[in-house]
Each structure stands twice: as structure tokens, then as C-alpha cells.
Amino acid sequence: MSLPLTIESNSCCVPRVTSTASVEDAERAARVFKALGDPTRVRLLSLIAAGEGGEACICDLTEPVGLSQGTVSHHMKLLAEAGLVTREQRGKWAYFALNGSVLDAAADALRTT
Amino acid sequence: MSLPLTIESNSCCVPRVTSTASVEDAERAARVFKALGDPTRVRLLSLIAAGEGGEACICDLTEPVGLSQGTVSHHMKLLAEAGLVTREQRGKWAYFALNGSVLDAAADALRTT
């Protein structure tokens, strides 16, 4: 395993974990990973990824995870606040899509090579 | 952004978030991200990455994060339980190194491309 030799910040929004992280960098990175650190939120992300066109209506997310719409809305709010998903209101329903750039930045933050 | 078309499990230990995740897959992935979801633990990982030979003695980790050795030990235990670091006892002190394969697997789990 080779380790990064220089201080490096991710171009988007999740600083590299495996390099020198300032307190602020660490807080930003931890915020994203904390949002990912819940099994229901991981499943919600995977359901959105599997949705038609890479998006999903909140109305289609409640049944697969077996939780109330209020609880699912709360999880989606945390994912949106972390920047992991984008939200679009269409009439009665909110639609969510993965935010690929933040997911990829979070992935890059963990790279050891 | 292209999304994975098939159900895919990571070869190591962190199932892909951006594909169809079973309840068990989601729990495994969330466990790793939960360990990463704390600013102190992110800083500890970055300190280890920056350490000589990619490792660090617990005795060198307390001062930079400004916490007691007991608190740092607790954080290191959570990181070790998540598989993110390995621990080696050398005489009086524990030495920690990043577990590159788990970090890389966690990174792969977030890839959208």
C-alpha cells in the first residue's frame, strides 16, 4: 500500500481521509460518512441508484424499507443535507437522485493509492 | 453519471452502496461508514496515514487530537472493529496501521461509475 506524500484536498467537497486532514477537513468528511453510517440510509441510496433514470419518488421508497413516510423523509433529509442526494419536488411528491460528484468525492477521500 | 446495471458485491467486505443492497449488505456497509463518521476518527486515520511507514504508535496520537489516551484508545478500538486499521502490540505500546483493502473497498462501495 502506498500512501499519499502530500497534503491533498479533494477537488469537490470531501477531503482526503488518508492524507493530512485539518480539523475542518475532518469535520466535513465525517459529516458525509455519518450520513452513510446507517443501514436504512444505505438501502435508500441503493434503491435510488436502482430506480428508473437513477432517481426515485419518495412514494416508492417507503415500502421496500418497511418504514413510515415520515421516517423515510427524515433519512432523506439527512442524505440531502450531506449532499449525497438531490431533491426535486414534482407536484405532490419529492423525487431524489444520487449526487454522483459527492459520492465519488467520498470514495476518493478513502483511497490509499 | 452512469449507474451499475447489475447486482454487485465488493470483493472484500464493503458491499456496493450504489447498487442493489440487501439488508445484510447495507448493515455491513453502514458499520464501516459509521466508524468513519466522526471527526476525531477521521483525524486519527489521517495521522496514521502520515506516520512513518504508514503506521503510528498510540503514544503519538493523543497529543495531536488533544484527547486522553483512554478516549483515543476507544476511537481506535471502533476503527479496528470496523476493519479500518490493524493493531500490533509492541512492548508497552499499541501500533496502528491503515487497512488499505477495507478503505479501498469502502471507496469502491461509493463509486457511481
CB pair distance less than 8 Å for B49 and A103: no
Rounded Cα gap, residues A4 and A65, in angstroms: 39
CB pair distance less than 8 Å for B30 and A18: no
The contacts found for B77-80 with CB under 8 angstroms, 24 or more apart, are B78/B35, B78/B41, B79/B35, B79/B41, B79/B44, B79/B45
Share of chain B above pLDDT 90, in %: 63
pLDDT over threshold 60, residue B32: yes
Q: Name the residue facing A3 among B19, B49, B110 (closest C-beta).
A: B49
Domains and CATH numbers, chain A: 23-109 (1.10.10.10)
Per-residue pLDDT reduced to its tens digit, A59-105: 999 999 999 999 999 999 999 999 999 999 999 999 999 999 999 88
B45: which chain A residues are within 8 Å (Cβ-Cβ)?
Answer: 17-18, 21
Rounded Cα gap, residues B66 and B74, in angstroms: 14
CB pair distance less than 8 Å for B104 and A110: yes
B56: left (phi over 0), alpha (psi -120 to 50) or beta: beta
A53: left (phi over 0), alpha (psi -120 to 50) or beta: left
Strands A85-90 and A55-57: unpaired
Which 3-state string (H, E, C) describes chain B?
CCCCCCCCCCCCCCCCCCCCCCHHHHHHHHHHHHHHCCHHHHHHHHHHHHCHHHEEEHHHCHHHHCCCHHHHHHHHHHHHHCCCEEEEEECCEEEEEECHHHHHHHHHHCCCC
pLDDT over threshold 80, residue B69: yes
Q: Name the residue facing A17 among B4, B18, B46 (closest C-beta).
A: B46
The C-alpha cell that represents B35 in the structure block: 466508524
pLDDT over threshold 70, residue B49: yes
Q: Name the residue facing B50 among A20, A37, A100 (closest C-beta).
A: A20
Interface confidence: ipTM more than 0.90? no
In eight-state DSSP terms, residue A60 is: G
In chain B, which residue's Cα lies nearest the Cα of A52? B3
In chain B, which residue's Cα lies nearest the Cα of A5? B50
